[in-house]
Copies of this chain bind each other. A is one copy, B any other.
């Protein structure tokens, strides 16, 4: 079977002996609006279906300035958390007939700038961004150009934008309070670099707030920022020293799932038993946390809700630009503590 090339509006118009205008109106569902007769509409729709005609998206885009495509910028789509976010965002987008272009910044600021420029150039209708950049010039530029965007996961305190995040402060506070209720008094907190990312900042604050609210001493030596590009070795060194000094905390709050994964291995390699020697609570509920031994108590983020809200806000911005441009949409979702087997009760 040879493909009938160039099935275009003109071709259909010619076959039916009507104008391109009419075809276009009918296809776009405006037949009634323009009072095209039922009979004509049916004829058009039938041929369109028979030929499996789809309007050329370039031509349409050029004419109406819309691509029905949005861009997603994250640090690394192969990271479990973002993989699930991307998956859910794609679902909601495709339900609304939008496509998704996914890009990875690798926590590299220059790369993220390039990516965003490229996406703009591709005429995406809007962006969902989990930004790794330390300032907000790129976002100001987006605003200047009138390109809708929604931040997810990470925000800027000094430059309010539309965003969907979770209450990282409260989530971390809940996790730490839980450890305290279980009798722990010497609790460490590990976050991941770069230090300025809002999630890590807020989770540390939540941790600290729980510590202080319970009148415990905040020991600066118990707070570690683990470099992202050398997680295992860094944690290994830290725990080894602590173990040798017999200064291991009784519990650790880990502000990121990658930290927890590596910590599990370090503990296994250093023969530190979880939760026997040390209890842990992690941020993020990734699938494997229920498969590990022990299973991991953690702060779960509502990934479906983050994704759904982000898409919803973005599409509203895209489709009703004027109405929304002055009202900021900011959503902060609740986390929940998932109790598993990585925390031991201590009697003081």
* Chain A residues within CB distance 8 Å of chain B: 1-3, 54, 56-59, 61-62, 67, 69, 76-80, 83-84, 86-87, 90-91, 94, 99-104, 115, 117-123, 144-146, 261-262, 264-265, 268, 287-288, 290-293
Contacts and interface: CB of A to CB of B under 8 A. Distances in A.
A137 B144 CA distance: 47
A3 B62 contact: no
Contacts of A100: 101-102
Contacts of A145: 3
A76 B88 CA distance: 10
A179 B74 CA distance: 41
A291 B80 CA distance: 15
Given A104-B87, A293-B268, A77 B77 contact: yes
Given A90-B103, A94-B103, A144 B3 contact: yes
Contact of A76 (B87, B119, B261, B262): B87
A60 B78 CA distance: 32
Contact of A2 (B79, B86, B103, B144): B144
Contacts of A123: 56-58
Contacts of A3: 144-146
Task: Please tell me how many copies of the chain the complex holds.
Answer: 2
Nearest to A292: B292
Contacts of A287: 261
Contacts of A262: 291
Contacts of A99: 101, 103, 118-119, 122
Contact of A83 (B77, B90, B117): B77
A54 B261 contact: no
11 contacts: A3-B145, A58-B59, A61-B61, A69-B101, A77-B87, A80-B80, A87-B104, A90-B102, A99-B101, A100-B101, A262-B291
Given A54-B117, A102-B102, 18 more contacts: A2-B144, A3-B145, A58-B61, A58-B67, A58-B123, A61-B61, A77-B87, A78-B80, A87-B104, A90-B104, A94-B103, A94-B118, A100-B102, A101-B101, A264-B291, A268-B293, A288-B288, A288-B291
A119 B57 CA distance: 11
A61 B63 CA distance: 13
Given A268-B293, A291-B292, A102 B86 contact: yes
Contacts of A115: 94
A121 B7 CA distance: 12
A90 B78 CA distance: 11
B1 A144 contact: yes
Contacts of A119: 99
